[in-house]
Structure 1
Amino acid sequence: MTKAEKLKSALKETKERRKTQIAKTFCLKLQNLSKTKEEKLLRAFLEAKWLYNWVINQENVFEIDGSKVKKVKVKVGESFEERELTALGSQVMQEIVDRIKDNIKGLAKLKEKGKRAGRLKPKKRVNSIPFKQYGVSYRIDFKKNRIHLQKLGSFRVLGLNQIPPSAELSKAVLVRKPSGYYIYITCFVPKEERTTLEKPVAIDFGVKDRLTLSNGIKIDFEIPESKRLKRLQRELAKKKKGSKNREKTRQKLAREYERIENRRKDAINKIIAFLKLYSMVVFQQDSISSWHKGWFSRAVQYSGIGKLRERLSSSLLPVLEIDRFEPTSRVCCECGAYFENLKLSDRTVFCPECGNQIDRDLNACLVMLRKVSPALRVVGLDRPKLTPAERSASARILGSNPYIRVSYLVEAGSSSSY
């Protein structure tokens, strides 16, 4: 069997194996960094920036072989000086160049679709370095809790116990954050059967109540700017540009931004974990960006509701999106009557046709379920009820985050909460 045939056969086997696997990414933190190791990491990120800025300024980008680049020209003041690349391995440099090529192709596709797209610009900082192949560009010693990165050496890491023994390791990415250095490892693990509540759920996004579910659960979450963040912003404005004190304050400010972002991510992860219990998630394609530009910009920014909707669309959850122009709040969930004079301030709707009085957002959720399919029709007595299993699951998953507030609609106009 020739080399080409062996590669083709191995690729076919991998594709078949991937059908029974799912990709997961695990975050590990580099610990106990000595001064020498930290200098190596800083040098690696600096060289990654040099290589990136040099490649995007070349005319023949798609002809460049990143693994063979030894020296690059770096702009120093008004002139260019030649710098030698010593901290990056050949495979790492090749992957950085491949990233640039993929980005250029992505911009070209956007231009073909008629969208405005510029060109790649030089970067002041590069905060991620790819390590493509396990066993070559990086290796892991699970017994000693260590990871070896090509040309950078061995590092002690925290979090290896997250990776299951059955995981098949793939690519890794070294990331620099204000709180330290992290390595994100993508693994393929066997698919597990998901235990669901065997019922669909519809979500109505809002500003007053961030999420309203069709079973009567209201979820509100908001992570505002901290007092420390505002104080550091004032301190940074008073520091002299280019000074060491300004750089120290900038690093503290970046660390505080990271803390707030981590809190928002945790809240979103908890909500996604709760929604995974349902067999299907239905929501409307609301324009969150227009809310952000309007009067509700601060509320949208603090909650990260746009990121939550994006995660729902791109996650492995079985989701179904309804067109944003479909009427939901203005239609009665019981008889289908249309409300002509419904205002944004009306939080409870009353149908003069059938006498139905219900919370506005809950009504929209029930209308969404009815629009999806006749099989999911939820009018009259078939309206979904909040079960004890859902109540206990929401308390267990969402209640562990102090920034998430959950309330349960008892009847129109009233609710219970914790």
Structure 2
Amino acid sequence: MTKAERIKNTIRETRERRKALRPVVFQLKLQNLSGKKEELLERAFLEAKWLYNWLVSDLERLDLPVNKVNMVEVKVGETFEKRTLTVLGSQVKQEIADRLKDNLRALAMLKENGHKVGRLKPKSFVNSIPLKQYDVTYSLDFARNRVRIQKLGSFRVLGLHQIPPDAEVASAVLVRKPSGYYLHVTCYLPREYFCYPYKLGEAVGGDFGVETKITLSNGIKIDFEVRETPRLKRLQRKLARTKKGSRSRGKIRLLLRREYEKLNNRRKDAQHKVLAFLRLYGKVVFQDDGFKGWAALFGGQVHSSGVGGLKSRLRDSLETPVVVKRFEPTTRECFACGKQHELSLSERTIKCDCGWTCDRNLNAALVILRKGLGLGPDQAVGLDRPELKPLERKAVARILGSNPYVRVSFPQ
């Protein structure tokens, strides 16, 4: 058996084994960096930008053995100068080329589907470096809380304790953020790792909204919103008064990136809390809403909450998500009899001739739950009388109550 055949068999066996596992990304922060280490990391990201732009300027260079490229041409002003790649490992160079090939394939697929696409352009900065091969391009030392990166050396990291002992470590990405340097490690864990010892209920329906971000069929309303801070607005005004290319402009841009990172972390934390609560249900039913149309009317409220990101994460992270089609009528439909009503945005209560009166969002959540379970109006007996259990109230207080940007209201 040749070496190529052995590699193919190994890749095939790995894919089959990982079908029973789930991928999870753990974030590790590089700690206690000396001045020399920071210069080394900055040089690595600079060389990654040089190599990527060198490949983008002539795509035929992708046919070359990129792992053996040690010198590239860099545009400086109106001329080109040669730069030597000193800190990028051979596998890392090849992985940067593979990432570019993946980008080209993604553009080709979009073009086939009728989307208008342009050509790839050189980047002014690169903030991530792929490290695909564990124990080759990088390795983890759990005993000493350290990570070794090819040709960059060993670094102390924070957060290595998050990775369970039975996790199968796969690829990683070295990321540069305004707050520091991070290593995003992808691990594969058994599905039993995501099973909770108890369930709050068999199924729950959720309706996305603007005023209340998500209304559950049991009557719980969850709202979360992280608005722009006064500091961010001050920095934006200062940036507008600076001269392009000046040193002060660069400093303010760095402060802006840090402020945006803080806001993004707060929104992600709110999403984490909502996801952790919804995982306690057997099935979560929600509608595939299109938030791009919402942003045209309620841009500030939609963007400050990141509700679109929550929807995509519900689809990808939950154990058993059930998605109702986007154009399925839910808000206008009566839960009790199925009759369609014409409702304006100002009407917050639905009143039907059959005697059903309900809050607009709660009615939509109940209809979504019914349709997700495949039940008709005459079969959904008991769904309209959900009993909010004391266990659910405790779970809400324990999980959602720890975030000051999440507001929860219970049914009266």
Residue 71 of structure 1, CA deviation: 0.8
How far apart, CA to CA, are the structure 1 residues paired with 2:160 and 2:78?
46
Query: Are 1:293 and 2:258 an aligned pair?
Result: no
Letter in 2 for 1:324: R
**Cα distance, 1:370 vs structure 2:** 2.2
Amino acid at match of 1:399: G
Report how far residue 280 of structure 1 moved: 1.6
What TM-score, normalized to structure 1? 0.93
**Structure 2 residue matching 1:123: 3-state secondary structure:** coil
Gaps of 5+ in 2: none
1:311-322 paired onto structure 2 within 5 Å: 311-322=313-324
How far, CA to CA, are the matches of 1:26 and 1:277 in structure 2?
A: 22
Most deviating of 361-370 and 320-329 = 320-329
Superposed CA deviations along residues 327-381 of structure 1, whole A, max 9, x for unmatched, are 21212111222223x2211111111x22221100111111122223445867454
Deviates more, 1:100-109 or 1:6-15: 6-15
| CA shift for structure 1 position 15 | 3.3
1:261: which partner in 2? 264
What does residue 283 of structure 2 align with?
280
Task: Provide the C-alpha distance between the structure 2 equivalents of 1:391 and 1:163, rounded to a whole number of angstroms.
Answer: 30
Instruction: Show the counterpart of 1:415.
Output: none
Displacement of 1:278 in angstroms is: 1.5
Spell out structure 1 runs of 4+ moving beyond 6 A. Answer: none
Q: Find the counterpart in structure 2 of residue 414 from structure 1.
A: none
Within a 5 Å distance, the mapping from 1:122-161 to structure 2 comes to 122-161=122-161
| Aligned position for 2:189 | 189
Q: How does 1:22-37 map to 2 (within 5 A)?
A: 22-37=22-37
Number of residue pairs matched?
407
Alpha-carbon distance, 1:104 to partner:
0.3
Q: Which moved more, 1:34-43 or 1:373-382?
A: 373-382
Q: Is the 8 A contact 2:323 2:372 kept in 1?
A: no
Name the counterpart of 2:95. 95
> Quick one: distance in 2 between partners of 1:128 and 1:183?
9
Asked whether the 8 Å contact 1:292–1:301 carries over to 2, the reply is yes
- Contact 2:55 2:62 (C-alpha < 8 Å) held by counterparts: no
Structure 2 Cα separation of the partners of residues 5 and 78 of structure 1: 48
SS of the residue corresponding to residue 122 of structure 1 reads coil
Instruction: Give 3-state SS (helix, strand or coil) of 2:289's partner.
Output: coil
C-alpha distance 307-347 of structure 1, shift in aligned 2 (>3 A): same
The equivalent of 1:304 in structure 2 is 306
Partners of 1:154 and 1:373 in 2: CA distance: 52
Q: Within 5 A, what are the aligned runs for 1:8-407? A: 8-192=8-192, 194-195=195-196, 196-294=199-297, 296-340=298-342, 342-351=343-352, 353-374=353-374, 379-383=380-384, 384-407=386-409
Q: Distance in 1 between matches of 2:93 and 2:338?
A: 61
Alpha-carbon offset, residue 289 of structure 1 = 0.6
Deviation at 1:232, TM superposition (A): 1.2
Contact 2:366 2:383 in 1 (8 A): no
Which residue identity does 2:300 align to in structure 1?
Answer: R
Tell which deviates more after alignment, 262-271 or 371-380: 371-380
Kept in 2, the 8 Å contact 1:267–1:401? The answer is yes
**1:334 partner letter:** A
Deviation for aligned residue 1:176: 0.3
The residue type paired with residue 366 of structure 1 is L
Identity within the alignment, %? 57
Kept in 2, the 8 Å contact 1:216–1:385? The answer is no
Whichever residue aligns with residue 317 of structure 1, its letter is E
CA offsets 1:43-89 (integer angstroms, 9 cap, x no match): 11000000011101114144132201111110000011111111100
Measure the CA separation in 2 of the matches of 1:267 and 1:35: 35
CA drift of 1:393 comes to 1.3
**Matched letter for residue 251 of structure 1:** L
Q: SS of the residue aligned with 1:143? A: coil
- The worse-fitting range, judged by mean Cα deviation, of 365-374 and 124-133 is 365-374
Q: Distance in 2 between matches of 1:358 and 1:278?
A: 24
SS in 1 for 2:95: helix
Specify whether residues 239 and 305 from structure 1 end up closer, same or farther in structure 2 by C-alpha distance, changes over 3 A only.
Answer: same
Question: 1:94 and 1:8, CA in 2 relative to 1: closer, same or farther beyond 3 A?
Answer: closer
Question: Residue 289 and residue 123 in structure 1: after superposition, are their counterparts in 2 closer, same or farther (change >3 A)?
Answer: same
Q: 1:110 to 1:12 in 2, by over 3 A?
A: closer
Q: What residue identity is the alignment partner of 2:261?
A: E
2:391 is aligned with what amino acid?
A: A
* Structure 1 letter corresponding to 2:167: A
Q: CA contact under 8 A between 1:30 and 1:158: conserved in structure 2?
A: yes
Stretch deviating more after TM superposition (131-140 or 307-316): 307-316
Rounded Cα–Cα distance in structure 2 between residues aligned with 1:322 and 1:84: 54
Structure 2 CA distance for aligned equivalents of residues 372 and 16 of structure 1: 31
One-letter identity of the residue aligned with 1:252: L
Instruction: State how far apart, in whole Å, the 2-side matches of 1:247 and 1:372 are.
Output: 51
Q: CA 1:174/1:376 → structure 2, altered by over 3 Å: closer, same or farther?
A: farther
CA distance, structure 2, for counterparts of residue 254 and residue 8 of structure 1? 43
Q: Distance in 2 between matches of 1:233 and 1:252?
A: 10
CA contact (8 A) 2:175 2:184 kept: yes
Rounded Cα–Cα distance in structure 2 between residues aligned with 1:201 and 1:344: 25
Shift in alpha-carbon separation, 1:53–1:11, aligned structure 2, 3 A: closer
Change (3 A) 1:381 1:4: closer
The offset of 1:202, in angstroms, is: 1.2
